[in-house]
Structure 1
């Protein structure tokens, strides 16, 4: 993959976006319950810096060298997070065998909190700008995941995942709302404001395209949901947004940061197995939809989840829009 433009970096590195409690700040009863499941006290804890929630997430170690990754949320004040973590554990337990994903070990309730333990993946977030070797490994890993989910196992389908087509109609598609005056327009360069009808027309094709797909997808595939292990294999985390949809949708979401890194994201998309059966304009349709969703979301005001969420939505939405404009010759 050849550099095609100067890299543009997010306002805050992806490994430093979370605002989480540390292990020592969790209720003593919860920490004791987790230690009981581990068979000994926690002697070291490293809080995860990536992500955009205030739930606890961290790598825990015991004196005998045991390692586990634990997510935890308050069942009253963070009920939605507890539900997400429970949902993710159900998904991870049912994903096809052999995929590079962490598997759940156990879950418990204590002190009014829910905690789930996952395999500890010995890995780090990919670097930005993307290292071409790490991007190649991530794309190869996602090809494996996409192939396995193209015909998902019945026990995974039975979880009743939502459909991307429905999510698009009810939440993702924003340019049509902006053009109709039902949604405030985000700050846009003049050339983009003039393209509102084109953006709305492009994104409007997403529901029909998504409805034609028979498989399942990650639904939230971004750089900060990937870990690269010491041998260079990519692992895929944070599976609480599993949905029915086309794998090329995941691929575009992942490649936005590749475009921002100055790499040839067009070639990466066009040569990936996940895009093999995509409609000819699926990339542009997805870029339009994601740009609208992210840029309008970025104007929602300060987030209680992470002080860095809006900045990253603005960055990602802006890069999606500029990638689309470069492809269409708009700017």
Structure 2
């Protein structure tokens, strides 16, 4: 095993969010009325890369809920994301380890999504074996359930990973054509651009035949480990049609960075059954280009820690790929 290489800012402290008292008074009143009692404590979610409000709210009657909120004028994209997530959560199979939705609300120019609260913590890095085992087992349950998704979920018209790859994920071809600046690359990889273009081009081809649904944004900051050691999966905005091994590869970037045998973990997981032999290489090439180019163009409405995390994730993707390809 290699020594661990941790992210620049811990995932549990990657967000920059407003406090509960900083929200408009009319919004706080509306939320409290919908919850049925005054809010007595608000524990801000430290994980994530948006500036939207997100917190576990405890109420005077002993209730507890998780609430996300965003202002429609300043962050319309977040409003769209939260509304999309609400629709997806409402249609996920009820037995999945995902927070159950309660209600949505529009008040004081803000959109609010309320779900059940998960009493848990972001997985610790380097990965603790029991937490990694629980996360991989939990994702196996999700992958199996979404391999044949319920009709009400697919009726939402969710996108296909193959289309998302062509429109938003594949960037090495743009770099090779001079339409995108070349991100910083280690010296041994400067001449590997043709191989990176070829490998990433496989992703939409492989994803096109997938019939199941995937989480679409499976990172360690979208996982919570509860007091019983069970893994819960959050932030379901980016569900799409695609192969489950794509989710798994993104999740295992932190396992690779933790010095673990990520190749073995990937190959042994049931989500990779039937995957092409170079599916992992295609995904790593695509993720490396996506993260490294994105690090230079993070939106101002995101957490200030996003560029550093994108750069780190891109570097881990590229290093893992280089190790597998014998490029170093």
Shorter-chain TM-score: which interval? over 0.9
Query: Are the counterparts in 2 of residues 303 and 309 from structure 1 also a CA contact under 8 Å?
Result: no
Q: How does 1:125-136 map to 2 (within 5 A)?
A: 125-136=122-133
Distance 1:302 1:213 in 2: 31
1:153 to 147, 150, 164: 150
Offset of residue 302 of structure 1: 6.9
Query: Are the counterparts in 1 of residues 75 and 301 from structure 2 also a CA contact under 8 Å?
Result: no
Q: 1:119-152, CA deviations, whole angstroms, 9 ceiling, x for partnerless residues?
A: 0001110001111110011000000000000000
Q: How does 1:46-85 map to 2 (within 5 A)?
A: 46-85=43-82
Counterpart in the other structure of 2:199: 202
Counterpart in the other structure of 2:36: 39
Counterpart in the other structure of 2:251: 254
Counterpart in the other structure of 1:184: 181
Offset of residue 301 of structure 1: 5.9
| Pair 1:137 & 2:124 matched | no
Q: 1:243-278, CA deviations, whole angstroms, 9 ceiling, x for partnerless residues?
A: 110000000000000000011111100000000111
Distance 2:234 2:204 in 1: 26
Counterpart in the other structure of 1:275: 272
Distance 1:296 1:44 in 2: 39
- Counterparts in 2 of 1:250 and 1:113: CA distance versus 1, 3 Å: same
Runs of 4+ in 1 over 3 A off after TM superposition: 301-304
Equivalences, count: 328
Structure 2 unaligned blocks of 5 or more: none
Counterpart in the other structure of 1:14: 11
- SS in structure 1 of the partner of residue 42 of structure 2: strand
Counterpart in the other structure of 2:284: 287
Offset of residue 83 of structure 1: 1.0
Distance 1:141 1:210 in 2: 22
Structure 1 unaligned blocks of 5 or more: none
Counterpart in the other structure of 1:93: 90
Distance 2:191 2:245 in 1: 28
- SS in structure 1 of the partner of residue 21 of structure 2: helix
Distance 1:179 1:132 in 2: 40
Distance 2:64 2:270 in 1: 35
Distance 2:158 2:298 in 1: 29
Counterpart in the other structure of 1:264: 261
Distance 2:50 2:296 in 1: 18
| Pair 1:240 & 2:234 matched | no
Distance 1:301 1:101 in 2: 28
Distance 2:197 2:20 in 1: 45
Offset of residue 300 of structure 1: 2.0
Query: Are the counterparts in 1 of residues 298 and 306 from structure 2 also a CA contact under 8 Å?
Result: no
Distance 1:302 1:32 in 2: 31
Q: 1:11-39, CA deviations, whole angstroms, 9 ceiling, x for partnerless residues?
A: 10011111110111001011001111111
Counterpart in the other structure of 1:324: 321
Query: Are the counterparts in 2 of residues 126 and 223 from structure 1 also a CA contact under 8 Å?
Result: yes
Q: 1:101-120, CA deviations, whole angstroms, 9 ceiling, x for partnerless residues?
A: 00110111111111111000
In angstroms, what is the RMSD of aligned CA positions? 0.9
